[in-house]
Amino acid sequence: MYVASTRRTKGSPTDGGIRPSRVPTTVVLLGTVSLLTDISSEMVTAFLPIYVIFNLQMSYLQLGLLDGIYTGATAVLRLVGGHISDKVHRHKAVAVAGYGLSAATKLIFPAVGASSVGLGGVLAVDRAGKGLRTAPRDALISLVTPKDKLGESFGVHRTMDTIGALLGPLATFALLTWLTTRPGPIFMISFCFAALGVIVLVFFVRQPRLERVPGKVVTLRATADLLRNKGMRRTTIAAGLLGLATISDAFVFVLLQQVSGVSPTWLALMPVGTALTFLLAATPLGKLADRAGRWRIFFAGHVALLGVYLLLLGPFTGIALVIVTVALHGLFYAATDGVLMAHGATLVPEHLRASGLSIVQTGQALARFASSVAVGLLLQNLAFGTSVLISISAMTIALVGVFLLIRPEVSR
């Protein structure tokens, strides 16, 4: 170890400054945890349709419905995870519980077999784990990062996370094609990736020391009082408002395939394109956000999303439309996902960090869930073109509302 690395700077309590341009080691380690966990969960996501239809011979329609409901319901668990980790001063322990819960479900899948209630239950536990771990993990990232590098840290984390999400389906494909289509090995390997993630978290990630300061108590009341902070309140409302105008990825891709007139095979490649752009752009845009203003980049990301919706009206068609739209869609994620957390982290005091971030996340997740149900109803009753026009109007209204709501004092 270098002598310099043992002297701690005020901004980064756990990491030394060997090279000032690097993000804290804890962030890279948490990125590794997310990468491994995402390989695990995306392996299962990629395998589930085949498992349900071919191994269990069940109806997938039912399961899709359950999954949607659980995702919406467990978004609220983020609040619980956030509050507990602030309360006990141990973000890492709560995150371990969340990651561990999801890892354990991979072993339960084969045991529940062909029961839609059982499978739905396992999926619910998996989502519950995700709900629990997200806020303490993001709080950890923000607590070990100096304020002027928050965007970059979250960018690096989201890049690593997305690399895992891309590797998962590849692992499943390789297993199914070259070794076996039996469910056992797929769930077992998925469990092992998740277990490796938990091991990295338990043994290599260190909980930053947080002093208990008298007067700075973590209570439900103090958490609720966060919303009396103007910046926090406006950020939550803005994220919710924009979330309400956000239509889900699946709709975007199905609409894009129809509008562009490309072969349905492209449907499988569109999410990959979005993820690739996201992983390439997340870190640079995070860095840019640190300099240009995080809120500005978050807002610009939603303008890019408005661009995506406008392109769905089909000003041109073919593969060119698919490439431009998918790239813009990936940029939207890169400019918003980690950047919102980086922005949120600057508004919440350290002792309430996880609670504060979980409020913003839950607001956004619930709004997006409500929006996908609403868009579903629209598409069921109206033509595609009309639904897209309504989405464009909703996004325009949300952008104008948010622009007026956010004053310069919270723009950084």
Partner 1 sequence: MKDWFVRNRIVVGVTAMVVVIALAVVYVVATVRDQQAAATQPGAAVASGLTFVDNGGGQNLVSTLDASGKRTPGSLKCLRVYTAAGTTVCLRMSLPGAYEAAVFVDGKEVRSVPLPGTPSRARVSASGKIVSWTVFVTGDSYLAPGGFSTRTGILDLRSGELVESLESFAMTIEGVPDKRVNENYWGVTVAEDDNAFYATLGSGNTTWLIKGDLKARTMATVRQSAECPSLSPDQTRVAYKKRGGRLGTWQLYVLDLASGKETEMPGSDGVDDQAAWLNNTTLAYAKVQQGGAPTIFESAADGSGQPRELVAAASSPGPVA
Taking a C-beta distance cutoff of 8 angstroms, is the pair 248, 372 a contact?
A: yes
For residue 208, the one-letter residue type is P
Between 202 and 210, whose beta carbon lies closer to partner 1?
202
Q: Exactly one of 97, 104, 125, 170 binds partner 1 (CB under 8 A); which one? A: 170
Q: Is 380 in the site for partner 1 (CB under 8 A)?
A: yes
Taking a C-beta distance cutoff of 8 angstroms, is the pair 301, 281 a contact?
A: no
Between 170 and 280, whose beta carbon lies closer to partner 1?
170
State CA 9 to chain mean position distance.
30
Question: Among the candidate windows 19-27, 190-198, 222-230, 303-311, which touches partner 1 by CB under 8 A?
Answer: 190-198
Please state, in angstroms and rounded to a whole number, the distance separating the CA atoms of residues 238 and 243.
8
Question: What is the closest distance, in whole angstroms, from the C-beta atom of residue 163 to partner 1 in the complex?
Answer: 15
Residues 47-76 close enough to bind partner 1 by CB under 8 A: 49-50, 53-61, 64-65, 67-69, 71-72
Distances in Å between the alpha carbon of 368 and those of 75, 215, 363?
Answer: 11, 36, 9
Q: Is 385 in the site for partner 1 (CB under 8 A)?
A: no
Question: What is the closest distance, in whole angstroms, from the C-beta atom of residue 162 to partner 1 in the complex?
Answer: 15
Q: Exactly one of 18, 213, 373, 397 binds partner 1 (CB under 8 A); which one? A: 373
Site residue total, partner 1 (CB under 8 A): 69
Distances in Å between the alpha carbon of 388 and those of 44, 259, 267, 304, 368?
Answer: 32, 11, 18, 15, 16
Question: What is the closest distance, in whole angstroms, from the C-beta atom of residue 66 to partner 1 in the complex?
Answer: 8
For residue 401, the one-letter residue type is G
Please state, in angstroms and rounded to a whole number, the distance separating the CA atoms of residues 190 and 183.
11
Q: Is 372 in the site for partner 1 (CB under 8 A)?
A: yes
Q: Exactly one of 18, 76, 147, 173 binds partner 1 (CB under 8 A); which one? A: 173
Residues 222-261 close enough to bind partner 1 by CB under 8 A: 248-251, 253-254, 257
Distances in Å between the alpha carbon of 203 and those of 130, 142, 194?
Answer: 20, 20, 14
Nearest to 27 by CA among 282, 226, 235, 213: 282
- Lookup: tokens for 103: 């890892």
**Contacts with partner 1, residue ranges (CB under 8 A):** 46, 49-50, 53-61, 64-65, 67-69, 71-72, 113-114, 169-170, 172-173, 176-177, 179-182, 184-185, 188-189, 192, 195-196, 199-200, 202-204, 248-251, 253-254, 257, 263-265, 267-269, 271-272, 369, 372-373, 375-381, 383
